[in-house]
A and B are shown apart, each in its own frame.
Chain A
Amino acid sequence: MQPEQAQAADVELIHAIALGDEAALGALYDRYRLILFGLLTRILNSREEAEDVLQEVMLQVWRRAADFDEQRGRPFTWLVTLTRSRAIDRLRALGARQRLAESASRNAPEEASDAVKDTLHSEQREIVKRALAELPEEQTRILILAYFEGLTQSEIAKKLATPLGTVKTRMRSGMIRLRELLGGELKSVN
Chain B
Amino acid sequence: MVHEDYIGMLAAQALGALEVAEVRDLETHLQSCSECRSELSSWEDTAASLAFAGLEEKPLEPSPAVRAHILEAVRAERRSQAAKKTDDAQRQQSSNFVPLQPRVRPATYTWGAIAAGLIMLGLLASLFVLWNQNREARQELARLSEQVRDAQQQLIQQREAIEIVSTPGTKMMELAGTKLMPQAHAMLAYDKNGRAILMAKGLPPAPAGKAYQLWFIAGGQPMPGKVFTTDASGSGSLKDQIPPEARNSAVFAITLEPESGMKSPTGEMYLISAS
Residues in A neighbouring B57, C-beta threshold 8 A: 116, 122, 125
Number of A residues whose C-beta is below 8 Å from B?
A: 77
Q: How far is the CB of B52 from chain A (nearest CB, A)?
A: 4
Q: Which of A43-65 contact B (CB under 8 A)?
A: 43, 47, 50-51, 54-55, 58-59, 62
Provide the bound-state CA to CA distance between A114 and B16, in Å: 33
Q: How far is the CB of A175 from chain B (nearest CB, A)?
A: 4
Provide the bound-state CA to CA distance between A78 and B151, in Å: 33
Provide the bound-state CA to CA distance between A186 and B69, in Å: 33
Contact with B along A97-114 (1 / 0, CB 8 A): 000000000101101111
Provide the bound-state CA to CA distance between A76 and B45, in Å: 8
Provide the bound-state CA to CA distance between A35 and B71, in Å: 19
Identify which of A33, A55, A172, A183 contacts B69 (C-beta below 8 A). A55
Identify which of B49, B56, B62 contacts A33 (C-beta below 8 A). B62
Residues in A neighbouring B14, C-beta threshold 8 A: 175
Q: Does B173 contact A (CB under 8 A)?
A: no
Residues in A neighbouring B113, C-beta threshold 8 A: none
> At the interface, is chain A mostly helix, strand, loop or mixed?
helix
Q: Are the CB atoms of A127 and B52 closer together than 8 Å?
A: yes
Residues in B neighbouring A34, C-beta threshold 8 A: 55, 59-61
Number of B residues whose C-beta is below 8 Å from A?
A: 50
Identify which of A127, A132, A151 contacts B17 (C-beta below 8 A). A151
Contact with A along B44-66 (1 / 0, CB 8 A): 11111111111111111111001
Interface-located stretch among B73-81, B159-167, B195-203: B73-81
Known: A38-B59, A51-B66, A189-B49. A146 touches B260 (CB 8 A): no
Contact with B along A17-58 (1 / 0, CB 8 A): 000101001100110011111110111000100110011001
Q: Are the CB atoms of B59 and A171 closer together than 8 Å?
A: no
Residues in B neighbouring A106, C-beta threshold 8 A: 56, 60
Known: A37-B59, A38-B54, A152-B19. A25 touches B260 (CB 8 A): no
Q: Are the CB atoms of B58 and A112 closer together than 8 Å?
A: yes
Q: How far is the CB of B91 from chain A (nearest CB, A)?
A: 24
Interface pairs A-B: 10 shortest CB-CB:
A42-B54, A112-B58, A175-B11, A146-B17, A113-B61, A80-B48, A128-B52, A146-B15, A184-B262, A38-B55
